[in-house]
C-alpha cells in the first residue's frame, strides 16, 4: 500500500502552497488519477483522511478526477483513446504506443481560505 507515502508527498505540497499564500485553511484539494498510475482512488481517500489528523491544513475535502487512458501511436502517429487498459493503437493495431494521459497522479488545484487583507498582496 504505497498510497500512504504518495499522499504524504501530496500533503507536503499542499502545506507549502498554504504557507506561500498565508492561508488560514484549505477547503478542497483536487487530484487527477489515471487508470495506469498504479494508484488506487479508494486507498488515496483512506490515506488522506488518516494523514490529515497529523497535518496543519485543516479538514479539506478531496476531489478525485478520473482520467481516460489516451495513447499516441509511434507507427501511424495518430492519437486514440484506449478502452480498458489495452496499450494498442485503436487505428492501426500497433503496440508501439506512447501513453499521453492515464498514468498520472497530479495535484490539480487547491482551494484556500485566505485573509481578505492579504488577497491583494499575494500574486
Partner 1 sequence: MNTVDTVSKTVVINRDVLSEKKRRAAELRQQFTERGILVVNLVSSPGSGKTSLLEATAKCWQGQHKMAVLVGDLATERDAERLRPLVPVEQLTTGGACHLELSLVEKGLAKLPLDDVEFLFIENIGNLVCPASHDLAEHLRVSVLSTTEGDDKPGKYPKMYRTSDALVITKTDLLPYVPFSTEDAIADARTIQPELSAFELCSLTGDGVSQWCDFLVQARRRTVCIPAA
Those residues with Cβ within 8 angstroms of residue 88's Cβ, 6 or more apart along the chain or in another chain: 82, 94, 95, 97
Strand partners, 4: none
Least Å from the CB of residue 94 to partner 1: 9
Q: Which is nearer to partner 1, 79 or 107 (CB)?
A: 107
Q: Which is nearer to partner 1, 68 or 109 (CB)?
A: 109
Q: How many CA atoms lie within 13 A of 123 on its CB side?
A: 0
Least Å from the CB of residue 14 to partner 1: 9
Least Å from the CB of residue 121 to partner 1: 12
Which residues contact partner 1 by CB under 8 A? 1-2, 5-6, 9-10, 12-13, 17, 21, 23-24, 27, 31, 36-39, 85, 87-88, 95-96, 99, 103-117, 119
Cβ-contact 34, 102 below 8 angstroms: yes
Q: Of 21, 9, 106, 23, nearest to 58 (Cα)?
A: 23
Amino acid at each position: 500500500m504505497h498510497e500512504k507515502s504518495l499522499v504524504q508527498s501530496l500533503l507536503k505540497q499542499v502545506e507549502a502552497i498554504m504557507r506561500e499564500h498565508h492561508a488560514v485553511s484549505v477547503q478542497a484539494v483536487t487530484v487527477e488519477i489515471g487508470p495506469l498510475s498504479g494508484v488506487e482512488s479508494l486507498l488515496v481517500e483512506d490515506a488522506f483522511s488518516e494523514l490529515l489528523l497529523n497535518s496543519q491544513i485543516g479538514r479539506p475535502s478531496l476531489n478525485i478526477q478520473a482520467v481516460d487512458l489516451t495513447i499516441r501511436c509511434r507507427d501511424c502517429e495518430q492519437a486514440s483513446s484506449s478502452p480498458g487498459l489495452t496499450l494498442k493503437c485503436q487505428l492501426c493495431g500497433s503496440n508501439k504506443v506512447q501513453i499521453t494521459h492515464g498514468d498520472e497522479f497530479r495535484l490539480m488545484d487547491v482551494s484556500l481560505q485566505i485573509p481578505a487583507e492579504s488577497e491583494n498582496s499575494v500574486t
